[in-house]
Amino acid sequence: MAPPTRVKTLKINNRDVGARQDETILEAAADVGITIPTLCQLDGLSNGGACRLCLVEVKGSSRLYPACVTRVEEGMEVLTNTERLTNYRRMILELLFAERNHICAVCVSNGHCELQTLAQDLGMTHVHFPYRHPHMVVDASHERFVIDHNRCVLCTRCVRVCDEVEGAHTWDVMGRGMDARVITDLSQPWGTSDTCTSCGKCVHVCPTGALFEKGKSVAEMLKKRQFLPYLKLMREERS
């Protein structure tokens, strides 16, 4: 018999919230309709706390906590949208836009992109750091899909879905710092990958236009994610 789940009570943005003890701040907030910006997090995948957009303030601590991986605690007082946090979030987005070449106007995901939407929601109207314009490659060697590194934000959703859900582990990350990039198999053209099952999961979890289907033109790439909550649910029932 599973041990009884305990309920924790906490405050999020001064609202009293009750949450299961194993819930994260992000989940507890979502339960009561408070959205916290996220990018690397995706329901159904493990969380690495990488993008830092979901950082929240917790009363009594000078540290900031990633809501997607921080468990609720009794009596916690969480603030999710202070001016300080919004500023940090905007700057983090700006750093992303300045890092590679996100030219929204000519992107397959224009209008359906999580990065673009985040920028809009957070009121990020321009990037006040210098753009870096690195030379990045596009790998179109796969029969059906393309990876455009210009638009990759290194959220590693593709890596995680491929490993954790599809079980193929075709994707991984190579290199450090600014040289980091996602690779297929042993850093070889995607089309030559022995492990890729062409299931397309990576394409559909990708928040930006970095992964897309061939034949899609500007603004035509819509990501379909229904499979993830479904698979997650089915797995939970099995275990």
User: Which of 55, 182 has the CB closer to ligand SF4?
Assistant: 182
Residue 38 interface partner, choices ligand SF4, ligand FES, other proteins, none, CB cut-off 5-8 Å depending on type: ligand FES
Between CA 162 and CA 165 the distance in angstroms is: 6
User: Which of 41, 109 has the CB closer to ligand FES?
Assistant: 41
Among 10, 36, 93, 155, binds ligand SF4 (CB under 6 A): 155
51 touches other proteins (CB under 8 A): yes
26 touches other proteins (CB under 8 A): no
104 touches other proteins (CB under 8 A): yes
97 touches other proteins (CB under 8 A): yes
Token pair of 107 as six digits: 């992107």
165 touches ligand FES (CB under 6 A): no
Which candidate, 182, 177, 134, 192, places its Cα nearest to that of 155?
182
Q: What is the DSSP letter of 233?
A: H
Burial of residue 229 (CB within 10 Å: 0-12, 13-18, 19+) is exposed
Query: Distance from first CA to last CA of the chain, Å, rounded?
Result: 13
Residue 25 interface partner, choices ligand SF4, other proteins, ligand FES, none, CB cut-off 5-8 Å depending on type: none
152 touches ligand SF4 (CB under 6 A): yes
CB of 237 to ligand FES, least distance (A): 26
Among 12, 51, 158, 165, binds ligand SF4 (CB under 6 A): 158
Among 8, 25, 38, 127, binds ligand FES (CB under 6 A): 38
Paired with 19 in beta bridges are 8
β-strands 145-148, 138-139 pairing: antiparallel
Residues 153-182 that bind other proteins (CB under 8 A): 153-154, 172-173, 175-180
Q: Which residue has the tokens 């790998």?
A: 139
**Torsional sign, CA 226, 22, 122, 42:** negative
Paired with 24 in beta bridges are 71
Q: What is the DSSP letter of 228?
A: H
Number of residues that bind ligand FES (CB under 6 A): 12
Q: Under the rule (CB under 6 A), what is the footprint of ligand FES?
A: 38-41, 49-54, 66, 68
